[in-house]
Amino acid sequence: MIRNPLLKPTLLVLLAFVVALHAQEKKKLTFGQIFRNAEPRILAQLPNIIGWADDQRYLEMKKKEGDDRQRVYAIDVKSGKETVYRDLDQFKDLVGAGITVGSPAGYNPAYTRLIFVKEKDLYFLNTETKEFRRLTETPSEEKNPAVSPDGNYVAFTRDNNLFAIELDTGKELQFTSDATEVIYNGWASWVYYEEIFGRPTRYRAFWWSPDSKRIVFMRFDDSKVPMFPIYNSEGKHGFLERTRYPKVGDANPEVKVGFVNVSNAASIVWADFDEKRDQYFGTPFWTPDGNELFLQWMNRGQDSLIIYGLNPETGKKRKVYTEEQKSWVEWFDKISFLSKNKGFIVKSDKDGWMHLYYHTMDGKLKNRITEGKWTVSSVELVDEENSVVYFTAKKQASTRTDLYKIKMNGKDLARLTYGEYTHTVQVSPGGSQFITRYSNVATPTKIALYNQKGKLVKELGDSKAKEFDDYAIAKTELFTIRTSDGYELPATWILPLNLDSSKKYPVLISIYGGPNAGSVSDSWRGINQQWLAMEGVIQLAVDHRGSGHFGKEGVALMHRSLGKWELNDYVEAVKWLHEKPFVDRSKICITGGSYGGYVTCMALTSGADYFTHGIASYSVTDWELYDTHYTERFMDTKEENPEGYKFGSVMTHVSKYKGKLRIVHGTMDDNVHMQNSIQLVDKLEDLGKSFEFMLYPGGRHGWGGAKAIHSRNESYRFYYKNLLEKEFPEQLFSEPSPAPERRR
């Protein structure tokens, strides 16, 4: 199933010798080439293809030679003719500096009406008439501006209330007025933003209907949600950031779902739910005609999901779809509706693998579309005229993604992409063709255009520059590691460039490790890892049985037992490494952030007989300290699963700690609170253990800028000192990066 399965150690060493001999004839990459994009560049810029204008023209953003304007071009597939689709810089002089485009949620990019944001106020630009005017002028910030599908309104939140403005007249509509510090209308409570809607929504919790007549929004009451204080050390006295954050077992926000009509701003229709019930609501989906809203509901235990059809005029609900699982049920990230109320398609893992199901609008299963021990990734297009569904899936191998098409009745499955590559596709609106970005561990990314039969139309770009073959590149291998109970764990490694089997080499294992969050794929990962390969580090990545490669069947093994199978399988990988004569058992380092930081902490405590070094960044250290929705999905509550929480806590195993662990955390992390690392530090100190601790003041769940460079350099300093036992090349890492050439 995996390419190059179970490569034998002797074969791998032989391959390494062949590569080493070949590498001696080639140039070595420089530090500047690897980290600073210095010349000569071995990787070329790929065209920035952003989607399709229609079924025959794709869109590319670029600047042409001799033209300093950033434009989006529509390129005709047959003729190659390029026409300006949008001039992004055309109105710079008109709108002025410091203005960014507002979020065009649900907005057709071909429309000529744009919303801009400057200094917390909204501005309106009609690109046809060149009319530019200010919409708001208030001391408060207008957040998440979302243009209606017809382009006539912009909705937003202000001070936790929901508003809209009619763009032609400038008339402001206020839909709610009861917001407080703990009541939000159209603005998500933290746990919904982080775990249900997702960070890209930027807390937005309102959605336009397709006909632009209504907005559905959620009202959150955080009165009973505990407040977690996050300390900011700036200034003389510092200050507290107060976040309503529900930890395991705490009260969740109370939620109401309301409909507002732009023609009657004063009237709210509330959906027929009891907000006092312990429950969750997921992302809603309007039916294409806007006459009904499909709303996802889930119980606190997250093992039962119901889709309700809501009437926006009355708020009454009808049950459309129900799913229950012994472990947990996942939210739907998409519902594909058919026209004229002919039904809808969803993907569900209820049989142990993620597949497509076709239902009528009353929820009756018409037929399942796909089946088998493989995973559907996403629906790309439903071609109703030809009764065909285009979708991506990991069918050929769990480490690769391909594009397929299949009849809606589940017949005539056909693979459209080719080769042993991971494909990321953009299907044209009519399904007549698609663009794919594809690569594997040995092949830099390429872009190509194909027709609906999977036949190549033309190559569009190759990131492999002509200088690439002049340089020695440490080879990346994709293989599997067999566990003692028969799982073939997908893995990749990069061996040192000039491996000598008579020497011992340190190992760096980089992981994330969360449920259904595998990191091993047959895709190009760039050249940053080449530096450590040149310095003599074996770099390994491996996915455990709950990472998604083995379907929900594998992921569900993690139910009520976070920490168990991840560590079990990573230990199996280290045992496999121990069998290699060129591996230094005294230098097995593991590193990761967030869930990866948690696994790293577990590895240096519970797994300390196998792992010798680690860097754990912004780590969960005790699941009782994390939020309700994420933790209880996998672990249930602590009262229901005391033994699972006990085993899954790093604190339980801290007495076994040995080796060297560096703990890293941002002081203002609002996701995994620094409290996690502080409590681990407290335990280690009380036990007299030696460790390292690095803080990033003001850092959230990760950080950028100068602190990101510092963090990278300190990690490499750790590797040089503890794994390579070499002097850290201070000058290379500390030299300022030259301003990169702007390339489009």
CATH of residue 24: 3.40.50.1820
Report how far residue 258's alpha carbon sits from residue 661's, in angstroms, rounded to the nearest whole number.
50
In a domain, 515, yes or no: yes
The pLDDT of residue 127: 77
Q: What is the model's pTM?
A: 0.92
Q: Percentage of the chain surpassing pLDDT 70? A: 92
Domain count for the chain, please give it: 1
In a domain, 404, yes or no: no
- Please, which residues have CB within 8 angstroms of residue 384's CB and are 6 or more apart in sequence? 338, 339, 342
In a domain, 309, yes or no: no
DSSP string, 271-328: PS--TTSSEEE---EE-TTSS-EEEEEEETTSSEEEEEEE-TTT--EEEEEEEE-SS-
Q: How many Cα atoms occupy the beta-carbon half-sphere of 650 within 13 Å? A: 30
In a domain, 521, yes or no: yes
Spatial strand order in the sheet of 355-359: 336-337, 344-348, 355-359, 365-368
Residue 715: which domain range?
A: 9-43+467-734
Beta partners for 215?
208, 260
Question: Residue 101: is its pLDDT beyond 80?
Answer: no
In a domain, 62, yes or no: no
Selected residue with higher pLDDT from 23 and 557: 557
In a domain, 701, yes or no: yes
Tens digits of per-residue pLDDT, 646-664? 999 999 999 999 999 999 9
In a domain, 268, yes or no: no
Tens digits of per-residue pLDDT, 484-540? 999 999 999 999 998 999 999 999 999 999 999 999 999 999 999 999 999 999 999
Tens digits of per-residue pLDDT, 310-356? 999 999 999 999 999 999 999 999 999 999 999 999 999 999 999 99
Between the CA of residue 29 and those of 492, 707, 716, what are the distances in Å?
Answer: 21, 26, 18
Contact 508, 489 (CB under 8 A): no
In a domain, 106, yes or no: no
* Arithmetic mean of pLDDT over the chain: 92
The pLDDT of residue 2: 35
